[in-house]
Amino acid sequence: MNRSQPDPAAIPWINWTAQRIPDPVVRLRFLRAAAPAWQPKPPRKFSRARSAGLSLLALAALLAAGRLAVARRGAKAFSHAQAAVAVSANLVNAPVVIIPAGMALPKAESAPEIWQVEKTAAFETYSNGLRIDNKFSTGNHPRSYLAFAAARSGGAQDDARDRTQDEARTNPAGIVYHTTESLQAPFEPDQNGKLKQVGESLLDYVKRKKAYNFVIDRFGRVFRVVQEADAAEHAGYSVWSDEKWLYVNLNESFIGVSVETQTSPGQMEAAVTSAQIRATAMLTEMLRSRYHIPAGNCVTHAQVSVNPTRMLAGYHMDWASSFPFEEIGLPNNYARPLPSVAAFGFECDANYSRTAGARLSAGAGLGAWELAERAAAAGVSVSAYRKSLQNQYRDLLAATRGAVVSHEGD
Ligand SMILES: [Zn+2]
């Protein structure tokens, strides 16, 4: 079917989504992408953007730049829009998000240097105020994985990847944030006993399952569970990529940090205590400083989780759109093109946007756009390009399993 513009049924959803994208620049780009079919009403966004600290002048410049870019890209951009619609046909029900390529990525801010101040068997303290409790600390198998070189010279025609560029590593490359999805007692002073009891039984469970490297309880206390040198069983089938590397199955390559809370479908506001925010920020600073983790590799489980059987993005959906990146001291990584879609060829089913919420849906839309651009650059159809990425994913998955098997045989 030749779709030259979004389904009219999508327009209320575009509006709904736009109003829920907190970052004014991301919101503008989202609206600009939908502009050929739907012109946004500016006054509301102007006032919202101004409240976010953007001057009217800067906004006008942004809009003008956007229009120029759209005009310059002309028919090519439009054919990409059609391709993006086609590539994420399953998002249309929900419906599709189309965002142009070239959207500025969040800045990769460097982490401040954090050092250990004190260490006993029971706890550690750090120079930024972080305190880690080792009461539930345990081990698992040593962290060991392959980082796959992301360079793709020939677009889709890269079946014979140059494996000599891949790297065997033992240091974590990123952080995946989870929610524990566990029982929640009211956060009130007279519930102290219940809150502590619930938190401790959760930690016992996490320790038995070796489920995360760290848990942050309701009081913001940071517990080490699986030591960082070991993999935790936190991310199952999952993928991520940065500018240089593709990561497959992040148990080995990413540290799992879980916050004792719950998320619900489409949720946009984090259900966390202020102590949990502060603790997550301090733990993130320390881990980034210790392991030189780029800000762009600090992401949520919903962003990385996939279902490889059905080749669908977003199997687990914790922190889908509600992770407070900015409050944690990170750039808004929801604004990155979703690697599962863009770099691995996963699709989103009809329920995706409902459970993902607006921020993750925008990332998935960006991913679909980037996929379409790469297909166009390689001179192949989007479906052929996607199939090639899916085949590559299966190869990388097999290589990952091979690496783990050989490791276990050591
Ligand atoms: Zn999770």
DSSP string, 221-289: -EEE-B-TTB--S--SSBEEE-SSEEEESHHHHEEEEEES----TT--S----HHHHHHHHHHHHHHHH
**Residues β-bridged to residue 123:** 133
Expressed in angstroms and rounded, the spacing between residue 176 Cα and the centre of ligand 1 is 8
pLDDT at 83: 39
pLDDT at 358: 95
DSSP category for residue 177 = E
- Does the predicted model carry a pTM greater than 0.75? yes
pLDDT at 162: 75
Give the span between the Cα atoms of 272 and 300, in whole angstroms. Answer: 15
Expressed in angstroms and rounded, the spacing between residue 154 Cα and the centre of ligand 1 is 35
Expressed in angstroms and rounded, the spacing between residue 272 Cα and the centre of ligand 1 is 15
Give the span between the Cα atoms of 169 and 290, in whole angstroms. Answer: 15
pLDDT at 39: 33
Expressed in angstroms and rounded, the spacing between residue 318 Cα and the centre of ligand 1 is 5
pLDDT at 400: 87
Chain centroid to Cα 251, Å, comes to 15
Length of the chain: 410
Expressed in angstroms and rounded, the spacing between residue 177 Cα and the centre of ligand 1 is 7
Single-letter residue type at 275: A
Expressed in angstroms and rounded, the spacing between residue 386 Cα and the centre of ligand 1 is 26
- Tokens standing for 20? 């829920």
| Neighbouring C-alpha atoms within 13 Å toward the C-beta of 390 | 17
* Residue whose C-alpha is closest to residue 10's, from 36, 29, 43: 36
10-residue mean pLDDT series, the chain (410 residues): 39 58 65 44 31 27 32 39 42 39 51 94 97 98 95 51 87 98 96 97 98 98 98 97 95 98 94 97 98 97 97 96 96 96 95 94 95 95 96 92 46
Arch. (CATH architecture) of 116-336+380-408:
3-Layer(aba) Sandwich (3.40)
Expressed in angstroms and rounded, the spacing between residue 333 Cα and the centre of ligand 1 is 17
Break the chain into its structural domains and give their ranges: 10-92, 116-336+380-408
Give the span between the Cα atoms of 157 and 37, in whole angstroms. Answer: 33
Expressed in angstroms and rounded, the spacing between residue 97 Cα and the centre of ligand 1 is 25
pLDDT at 250: 98
pLDDT at 119: 97
